A = this chain, B = another copy of it.
Amino acid sequence: MSAVDKTMTMREAIAAHVHDGDTVSLEGFTHLIPTAAGHEIIRQGRRDLTVIRMTADIVVDQMLAAGCVSKLVSSFVGNSSAGSLGELRRRVESARPAPLEFEEYSHYGMICRYIAGAQRLPFYPLRSYGGSDLPEVNSSLRKVTSPYPGPDGGTEQIYVVPPVNPDVTIVHAQRADRSGNTQIWGLTGVQAEAVYAARKAVVVVEEVVDGEVVRSDPNRTVVPAHAVNAVVECPRGAHPSFAQGYYDRDNAFYRSWSAISKDKERLTAWLAEWVHGTRDHAEYVAKLGEEFWDGLVVGEAMSLPVNYGRRL
Residues from 109 to 123 in A contacting B, C-beta threshold 8 Å: 120-123
Q: How would residues 248 to 286 of chain A score, 1 for a CB under 8 Å from any chain B CB and 0 otherwise?
A: 100000000000000000000000000000000000000
Cβ A245 vs Cβ B121 within 8 A: no
From B150, B174, B213, B308, A301 is in contact (CB under 8 Å) with B308
CB pair B299–A186 under 8 Å, yes or no, is no
* A188 contacts partner chain B, Cβ-Cβ < 8 Å: yes
What is the chain B residue whose CB lies nearest that of A300?
B307
Report whether A307 and B302 are in contact in the complex, using a CB–CB cutoff of 8 Å.
Answer: yes
A141-173 vs B, CB cutoff 8 Å, 1 = contact: the mask equals 011111110100000101010100000000000
Interface size class of A (residues with CB under 8 A): 35 or more
Closest to A143 in B: B147
Identify which of A44-52, A72-80, A191-199, A216-224 touches chain B.
A216-224
A70 within 8 A of B: no
> Does residue A67 face the partner (Cβ distance < 8 Å to B)?
no
Would A300 and B310 count as touching, CB distance under 8 A?
Answer: yes
Closest-by-CB residue of B relative to A212 is: B304
Q: Is the CB of A248 within 8 A of B309?
A: yes
For residue A246, CB closer than 8 A to chain B, the reply is yes
Of A142, A246, A308, chain B has the most CB atoms within 10 Å of the CB of A308
The answer, yes or no, to whether A30 is at the interface (CB within 8 Å) is no
Q: Which residues from chain B contact A174 at a C-beta distance below 8 Å? A: 306
Using CB atoms, name the residue of chain B closest to A243: B309
Chain B nearest CB from A10 CB (Å) reads 24
- With contacts A217-B303, A303-B217 taken as known, whether A308 is within 8 angstroms of B245 at the C-beta atoms is yes
Contact of A309 among B145, B301, B304 (CB under 8 A): B301
| A311 touches B (CB below 8 Å) | yes
A82 within 8 A of B: no
Nearest-neighbor residue (CB-CB) of A123 within chain B: B146
- Complex: A190 Cα to B160 Cα, angstroms: 24
1/0 per residue, CB under 8 A from B, across A120-141: the answer is 1111111100000000000010
Q: Is the CB of B312 within 8 A of A297?
A: yes
The residues of B that contact A308 with a CB separation of less than 8 Å are 185-186, 244-245, 301-303
- On whether the beta carbons of B156 and A122 are closer than 8 Å, the reply is yes
> CA of A145 to CA of B123 in the docked complex: distance in angstroms?
10
Beyond A122-B148, A298-B311, A301-B310, list 8 extra A-B contacts (CB 8 Å). A122-B156, A142-B147, A174-B306, A244-B308, A246-B307, A248-B309, A303-B303, A303-B306
Q: Offer 18 A-B interface pairs, CB within 8 angstroms, sorted by A.
A: A122-B150, A122-B158, A144-B146, A186-B219, A220-B303, A220-B306, A245-B306, A245-B307, A245-B308, A248-B309, A298-B309, A298-B312, A299-B312, A301-B308, A301-B310, A302-B307, A303-B303, A303-B308
